[in-house]
Chain A
Amino acid sequence: MEDLIVRYVSRIVVPFVQLFGLYVVFHGHLSPGGGFSGGAIIGASMILYALSFNLAAGTKKVSHDLSLILESSGGLIYAGVGLAAIFLGANFLGNKVAGIPLGTPGNLFSSGTIMIITLGVGIKVASTMITLFYSLIEGEQKTDEHC
């Protein structure tokens, strides 16, 4: 696709979409939103970028290895937070009981581990969205070669 307008508009829009996605992820414990919605927004921004330029440009920004690492680390952050609670003497995924300070409700840094978990979920969802898109597109391209 070689559309100048689409390229310029997407180049302007993508950073703002990503910023909004980050906002949704980081305010998951304060307002509607959270890891899944924010991650989906960030992932969609990368999909938009890859669509309006091409796949090669997209993979240049987020390579396969990077999305692989991000995908694994997202899940590992979640599990790691859960296991950390066990080391602190509480049950799996314990929050306040594990002695983690909760902060003042309404502040950005509050609610203990929930924000870290949301961040992990956000990373996971965003990278999964990107990986899904890449793999579907690549499968499609292989089909075209076959025919």
Chain B
Amino acid sequence: MSAAHHLPALAIVVPLVIAYLMPLFDRWRRGWCTPAALAALGFSFAASLVMAWQVMTHGPFSYQMGNWPPPWGIELYIDYLAVFTALTMTGVSLIVLVYGSRDLLHELKPHLLGWYYTLYLLLIASMVGMALTNDIFNLFVFVEICAIAACGIISIKESRECLEAAFKYLVLSALGSGCLLLAIALLYMVTGHLNFTFIAQALPEAMRLYPNNILAALALLLVGMGVKSALFPLHVWLPDAHSSAPSPSSAVLSGLVIKIYAVALLRILYQVFPDSIFEVTPVLTILLVMSSLAIIVGSMFAVVQEDIKKMLAYSSIAQIGYVFLGFSLMEISALTGGILHMFNHAMMKAMLFLAAGAFIYGTGVRRLSDLKGIGLTMPVPAAAFTIGALAMVGIPLTNGFISKWFLVLGALRGGQTFFAVVILISSLLNGFYYLPIIVNAYFGEPQGAVAEPKRLPRLMQAPLVILGFGCLLFGIFPSLIIGLASRAGQALLGM
């Protein structure tokens, strides 16, 4: 077989290898750090693209680590959902890194840049691993790498807020990991397998013999993944962590990291647990209630925020609610919408955080009410912010509209009109806090630092332009990506 056969492993290993090399580069060849990091992520992205093409043409395939067939070896299973997630993760993180390579120069001490790249590459590699793996313990290992790296890229700034936010995040995500590991122990106890496929085969029988174990495992899994993906009542760590981190970190954390746990939960719920679990426990109803609350309460919290990054962080809580809502409606359109929203929100939120970072870079202003007239003095980031905000509200021709459309469609088709109303109310609330900023930005009178911002480097403008263009592209030609998302949804529902 050709090199293309090994792409699943290489997509994870190449960023890892570069991450290990990065401290050496940082010590002796500092100029190599940024190109190496970009090359590693570029390779991962290209590998994901090729894998997506392979999956679309030949269907899902699997890769066995060390040629050990499952259940003995670790298996990577590359299906529609996996490539979709891997593409989202690598693509968005690559664009964010281009921005970060410039922005971080002023946010971090220079000797920390190489270490930042180490953490960043570890984070992305672990997320790609989580997307591709078909082994529950391997998933746990990637979850842990991801947790430590995510805390690391927050605390690297070493300001008081960052340290405190990182500690809070670390404690809560350690708690989540603990719950996850206990859930894995319970599942292993009753099935004797760690491979998703084999657990799924053994579970119906185990369900009859040891129902309590499986229910406990399910509950622990929900809590563990819920904490990590900031589902509503478990979101307390998110606003501080995402608003105090350096802007590229915020973009990745809000756009990608919380989503990958949602995907992992989705995969385990639909592919591992038997369908009968949904009849025994109201797990989907619980998820629906929690996500609706997240959508409404997150938006309401966002309305009252003064700090631009804090507002975006609260908005993330609402948006992860959409993703979970799509996942738990048990309807093909809604599931497609949820998967699509994962991708769309990753783009929008990354763009919004980067635009906010550009405002802070240019003017040093974080208060929303002080950003009057920023659209006249910093046109590119303001335009990006506007597109992102419109996409958040769900205006047609932006990608946010497409995913919300699918979600509402799914809710109506599933006969759950209530959730369609929730989505509409939340869109209204989104408009409530995003539109005044835009109006302020273009029709206000620039004052103080806003009137004479620092010039934004090209390398920081280009990612904003690309992401803004992407938001419009996938809003006007959604068919580019819907095919993959709906195939992923169909595969999960067993259609």
Residues of chain B within 8 A of A68, CB atoms compared: 23-24, 27
Do B64 and A91 touch (CB < 8 A)? Answer: yes
Do A75 and B16 touch (CB < 8 A)? Answer: yes
| A54 on the B face (CB < 8 A) | no
Residues of chain B within 8 A of A116, CB atoms compared: none
* Residues B386-442 near A (CB distance < 8 A): none
Do B9 and A79 touch (CB < 8 A)? Answer: no
Do B66 and A93 touch (CB < 8 A)? Answer: yes
Residues of chain A within 8 A of B376, CB atoms compared: none
Q: In this complex, what residue of B is CB-closest to A95? A: B66
* Residues B32-68 near A (CB distance < 8 A): 63-67
Residues of chain B within 8 A of A97, CB atoms compared: 66-67
Question: What separation, in Å, do the CA atoms of A68 and B63 have in the docked complex?
Answer: 33
Question: Size of chain B's interface in residues, with CB distance under 8 A?
Answer: 16
Do A91 and B67 touch (CB < 8 A)? Answer: yes
| A82 on the B face (CB < 8 A) | yes
Nearest chain A CB to B351 CB, angstrom units: 33
Q: In this complex, what residue of B is CB-closest to A77? A: B20
Residues of chain A within 8 A of B6, CB atoms compared: 86, 91-92
Residues of chain B within 8 A of A83, CB atoms compared: 13, 17
Nearest chain B CB to A106 CB, angstrom units: 22
| B21 on the A face (CB < 8 A) | yes
Among A65, A76, A92, point to the contact of B9 (Cβ < 8 A): A92
| A51 on the B face (CB < 8 A) | no
* Residues A77-101 near B (CB distance < 8 A): 79, 82-83, 85-86, 90-95, 97
Do B13 and A82 touch (CB < 8 A)? Answer: yes
| A69 on the B face (CB < 8 A) | yes
Residue interface mask A111-128, B partner, CB < 8 A = 1: 000000000000000000
Do A91 and B9 touch (CB < 8 A)? Answer: yes
Among B20, B27, B64, B65, point to the contact of A79 (Cβ < 8 A): B20
Contacts A65-B27, A91-B6, A92-B9 given; does A76 touch B21 at CB 8 Å = yes
Q: In this complex, what residue of B is CB-closest to A65? A: B27
Among A72, A82, A90, point to the contact of B24 (Cβ < 8 A): A72
Contacts A68-B23, A68-B24, A71-B23 given; does A79 touch B66 at CB 8 Å = no
Question: What separation, in Å, do the CA atoms of A71 and B27 have in the docked complex?
Answer: 13
Contacts A86-B6, A91-B6 given; does A72 touch B66 at CB 8 Å = no
Question: What separation, in Å, do the CA atoms of A91 and B13 have in the docked complex?
Answer: 13
Residues of chain B within 8 A of A75, CB atoms compared: 16-17, 20
Do B13 and A92 touch (CB < 8 A)? Answer: yes
Question: What separation, in Å, do the CA atoms of A8 and B208 have in the docked complex?
Answer: 64
Nearest chain B CB to A115 CB, angstrom units: 15
Question: What separation, in Å, do the CA atoms of A82 and B64 have in the docked complex?
Answer: 13
Nearest chain B CB to A85 CB, angstrom units: 7
Among A69, A71, A76, A91, point to the contact of B66 (Cβ < 8 A): A91
Do A72 and B65 touch (CB < 8 A)? Answer: no
Do B20 and A72 touch (CB < 8 A)? Answer: yes
Question: What separation, in Å, do the CA atoms of A90 and B63 have in the docked complex?
Answer: 11
Q: In this complex, what residue of B is CB-closest to A91? A: B67
Residue interface mask B72-115, A partner, CB < 8 A = 1: 00000000000000000000000000000000000000000000
Nearest chain B CB to A102 CB, angstrom units: 13
Contacts A65-B27, A82-B13, A83-B13 given; does A90 touch B67 at CB 8 Å = yes
Residue interface mask B363-377, A partner, CB < 8 A = 1: 000000000000000
Question: What separation, in Å, do the CA atoms of A93 and B20 have in the docked complex?
Answer: 18
Question: What separation, in Å, do the CA atoms of A97 and B72 have in the docked complex?
Answer: 15
Question: What separation, in Å, do the CA atoms of A146 and B17 have in the docked complex?
Answer: 38
Residues of chain A within 8 A of B9, CB atoms compared: 82, 86, 91-92
Question: What separation, in Å, do the CA atoms of A92 and B10 have in the docked complex?
Answer: 8
Question: What separation, in Å, do the CA atoms of A80 and B315 have in the docked complex?
Answer: 43
Q: In this complex, what residue of A is CB-closest to B27? A: A68
Do A91 and B20 touch (CB < 8 A)? Answer: no
* Residues B309-368 near A (CB distance < 8 A): none
Do B63 and A91 touch (CB < 8 A)? Answer: yes
Residues of chain A within 8 A of B20, CB atoms compared: 72, 75-76, 79
Do A92 and B24 touch (CB < 8 A)? Answer: no
Do B24 and A79 touch (CB < 8 A)? Answer: no
Nearest chain B CB to A100 CB, angstrom units: 11
Q: In this complex, what residue of B is CB-closest to A75? A: B20
Question: What separation, in Å, do the CA atoms of A15 and B326 have in the docked complex?
Answer: 61
Residues of chain A within 8 A of B64, CB atoms compared: 91
Do A94 and B66 touch (CB < 8 A)? Answer: yes
Do A79 and B13 touch (CB < 8 A)? Answer: yes
Residue interface mask B11-32, A partner, CB < 8 A = 1: 0010011001101100100000
Question: What separation, in Å, do the CA atoms of A86 and B14 have in the docked complex?
Answer: 13
Q: In this complex, what residue of B is CB-closest to A92? A: B9
Nearest chain B CB to A103 CB, angstrom units: 18
Residues of chain B within 8 A of A86, CB atoms compared: 6, 9-10
Question: What separation, in Å, do the CA atoms of A94 and B10 have in the docked complex?
Answer: 14
Nearest chain A CB to B361 CB, angstrom units: 29
Question: What separation, in Å, do the CA atoms of A94 and B23 have in the docked complex?
Answer: 28
Question: What separation, in Å, do the CA atoms of A71 and B115 have in the docked complex?
Answer: 13
Question: What separation, in Å, do the CA atoms of A47 and B232 have in the docked complex?
Answer: 44
Residues of A within 8 A of B (CB): 65, 68-69, 71-72, 75-76, 79, 82-83, 85-86, 90-95, 97
Residues of B within 8 A of A (CB): 6, 9-10, 13, 16-17, 20-21, 23-24, 27, 63-67
Q: A76-B20, A85-B66, A92-B66 given. 12 additional CB < 8 A pairs?
A: A68-B27, A72-B20, A72-B21, A72-B24, A79-B17, A82-B9, A86-B6, A86-B9, A90-B66, A90-B67, A91-B6, A92-B10
Q: Provide a sorted-by-A list of 11 A–B residue pairs whose CB atoms are within 8 angstroms.
A: A72-B21, A75-B16, A76-B20, A79-B20, A82-B13, A86-B6, A86-B9, A91-B9, A92-B6, A92-B63, A92-B66
